[in-house]
Amino acid sequence: MPSGADKPIRPFLIDNEWVAGGGESFASINPSDGSEIARIGSASPKDVDGAVGAARRAFETQAWSNLKFHERARLLYRLGDLLTSDSERIARVQLADNGKTLKECRAQVASAADTFRYYASVCETFETELTPPRGNYWTVTVSEPVGVVAAITAWNSPLTLEAQKLAPILAAGNTVILKASELAPLISLEYAALVLKAGFPPGVVNVVTGAGQVGRWLVEHPGVDMIGFTGGTNTGSSIAAAAGRLLKPVVLELGGKSPNIVFEDADLKKAIPGTADGIFSGGGQSCVAGSRIFVQHTIYDEFVRGLQNFARNYRMGPPECADTDMGPLVSFSHRERVQKYVESGLNDGATLSSGGIAPKGDFFDKGAFYPATILTGLDGRAQVCREEIFGPVAVVLPFQDEQDLIHQANDSEFGLAAGVWTSDYKKAWRVARALRAGTVWINTYKQLSIATPFGGFKQSGIGREKGVQGMRCYMENKGIYWSLD
Ligand code: NDP
């Protein structure tokens, strides 16, 4: 692995100026071959102070919040267009940073550009409410930006996760400090460059890089008014504790252990590839991965054979190749973590129906590859059935009937998403309503729309992103009473 000490440090953005950072620089590693692709500057407490100060000044001068809604929208449209015009290069930046396939990275650039356009239109068409008066006055409820928002994100899909933070936060009139994961920081720096190119006023968007402590400094900084966070449940919980102490509002998008449910009356020609993609696409490194597959006992053996067949043909390979289904995992240490979970499942008595061993030979020796893996023969109490693995590992569990299924599927501390495969539309509706999850897919999985609110029940989060509500959550409501006497 090259040391990379000779590489220039990639700076981050404060007040529309590039800053190398007072912290110790770190490497961004390509998980396909372990090479260092860039050295990234790390923010010191002083840099965090500088970024928050710039965002606060920009907020207080109202250079952004006082723009007319359609004027703010214009810059958001421009960001979307700039992303589209450089989409191929930016897709490849994410591919090198976190190992996602080119197909997925291209789709994510398109989705991120649409996110900026969607919130431009939400911003432009936003309405104020006139509430019925109860006396000789009139009342109006206006929505105003919260102020300075810290947006902290995970490594698995920086393109879309960061767009889902920046677009609504900015549309609402806030200023922002974005902090991406240390494991995949490059896209946040691409967004910083696009913000400069689009012509945002100084201090409106600031981007800092570094590890978790940079995130913690942001959360605890008195100049930050609100936190938007996407990441693991444990981190979310410590952020919520700090925010609770400081009385700062939070939106938390956290982990999942989502059930994907196949009834005996499902069309298996669709349900097998649908459930397989639900867990294996993106190497299972997706918050909504359908990692607990529940199958009605009458079709269990047939289903497992079909899933096994699918998993064995799921092509691991270089993420840039058109026929690759799954690239490497994000890092070698994450692969070790996934492997340990599989071992724990085997120790608890699982049968390894597919995968479970890192591939060897050729380019596989250099990268953090891990195969599509299926564990059967467990009951829902095993650690692998309860904890988020965040890798391409499915546990397949049988159920007797609808009642048994609902009990098992809801027996989880998480509640992010779920899938139901059945040809009985009444049952589909009943089960969808009974599942404690923020998103339920019926006869499909992982289809997402920026217009539909997204978030988790239980330990999977607090609040909702996306949709009009996704912008409202970064606003404060103010009731104004105007006497007519
Ligand atoms: P982490 O929780 O480890 O990290 C998320 C971000 O928080 C990173 O930028 C991290 O920095 C930062 N961070 C770490 N500790 C703190 C702290 N104490 N205070 C403030 N910030 C901190 O998550 P991962 O990056 O490993 O992402 C995987 C997780 O994200 C999975 O659980 C997945 O389910 C979840 N996720 C949820 C989504 C949703 O919409 N519900 C979508 C995508 C992922 P650094 O990593 O640099 O230390």
pLDDT > 90? residue 106? yes
Bridge partners of residue 250, in order along the sequence? 227
Share of the chain above pLDDT 90, in %: 96
**Higher pLDDT residue, 474 or 128?**
474
Mean pLDDT of the residues in the chain: 97
- Between CA 43 and CA 55 the distance in angstroms is 15
> Cα(181) to centroid of ligand 1, in Å?
7
> Cα(234) to centroid of ligand 1, in Å?
9
What angle do helix axes 158-171 and 69-85 make, rounded to 10 degrees?
160
How would you class 211 by CB atoms within 10 Å of its CB: exposed for 0-12, middle for 13-18, buried for 19 or more?
A: middle
* Average pLDDT for 207-222: 97
Which atom of ligand 1 lies nearest, measured to the CA of 233? 32
Q: Tell me how far apart the 2 most distant CA atoms of the chain are, in Å.
A: 84
Closest CA relative to residue 194, chosen from 80, 106, 286: 80
* Average pLDDT for 395-420: 98
Residue 166 backbone phi and psi in degrees, to 5: -60, -45
pLDDT of residue 368: 98
Active-site hit among 182, 190, 253, 465: 253
Q: Are 116 and 87 in contact (CB under 8 A)?
A: no
Q: Using most ligand atoms within 8 A of CB, pick from 97, 152, 207, 213 the residue to mutate for ligand 1.
A: 152
Which atom of ligand 1 lies nearest, measured to the CA of 238? 18
pLDDT of residue 363: 87
Residue whose CA is at the smallest distance from ligand 1 atom 14: 212
> Cα(236) to centroid of ligand 1, in Å?
8
Q: Are 233 and 462 in contact (CB under 8 A)?
A: no
Closest CA relative to residue 32, chosen from 333, 325, 362, 363: 363
> Cα(253) to centroid of ligand 1, in Å?
9
Residues 6+ apart with CB under 8 A from 390: 156, 255, 284, 285, 289, 334, 338
**Higher pLDDT residue, 278 or 133?**
278
> Cα(259) to centroid of ligand 1, in Å?
22
Residue whose CA is at the smallest distance from ligand 1 atom 8: 181
pLDDT > 50? residue 2? no
pLDDT tens digit sequence for 133-186: 999 999 999 999 999 999 999 999 999 999 999 999 999 999 999 999 999 999
Tokens of 110: 């398109």
pLDDT of residue 168: 98
Q: Which residue type occupies 394?
A: A
- Between CA 144 and CA 172 the distance in angstroms is 7
Q: Is 287 in the active site?
A: yes
pLDDT > 50? residue 259? yes
Which atom of ligand 1 lies nearest, measured to the CA of 185? 47
Residues counted in the chain = 485
Q: Using most ligand atoms within 8 A of CB, pick from 161, 287, 457, 473 the residue to mutate for ligand 1.
A: 287
For residue 19, the number of C-alpha atoms closer than 13 Å in the C-beta half-sphere is: 23
For residue 132, the number of C-alpha atoms closer than 13 Å in the C-beta half-sphere is: 1
Share of the chain above pLDDT 70, in %: 99
Q: Using most ligand atoms within 8 A of CB, pick from 181, 220, 237, 250 the residue to mutate for ligand 1.
A: 181
pLDDT tens digit sequence for 346-363: 999 999 999 999 999 988
Q: Is 105 in the active site?
A: no
With cut-offs at 50, 70 and 90, classify the pLDDT of residue 397. Answer: very high
* Average pLDDT for 375-392: 97
Residues 6+ apart with CB under 8 A from 49: 221
pLDDT of residue 130: 87
pLDDT of residue 7: 85
Active-site hit among 287, 385, 465, 473: 287
pLDDT > 50? residue 1? no
Which atom of ligand 1 lies nearest, measured to the CA of 256? 34
Residue whose CA is at the smallest distance from ligand 1 atom 21: 215
Q: Are 187 and 160 in contact (CB under 8 A)?
A: no
Tokens of 196: 């400069």
Q: Using most ligand atoms within 8 A of CB, pick from 157, 235, 450 the residue to mutate for ligand 1.
A: 235
With cut-offs at 50, 70 and 90, classify the pLDDT of residue 129. Answer: confident
* Average pLDDT for 333-342: 98
For residue 355, the number of C-alpha atoms closer than 13 Å in the C-beta half-sphere is: 31
Tokens of 223: 């100049």
With cut-offs at 50, 70 and 90, classify the pLDDT of residue 5. Answer: low
The ligand 1 site (C-beta within 6 Å) comprises 152-156, 161, 179-183, 211-212, 215-216, 219, 230-232, 235, 238-239, 253-256, 287, 388, 390, 416, 456, 461
Question: Between the CA atoms of 210, 213, 215 and 219, what dihedral angle is there, to the nearest 10 degrees?
Answer: -150
Residue whose CA is at the smallest distance from ligand 1 atom 13: 212
Question: Which residue's structure tokens are 């009356």?
Answer: 265
* Average pLDDT for 52-67: 96
pLDDT of residue 104: 97
- Between CA 69 and CA 448 the distance in angstroms is 26
pLDDT of residue 4: 53
How would you class 70 by CB atoms within 10 Å of its CB: exposed for 0-12, middle for 13-18, buried for 19 or more?
A: exposed
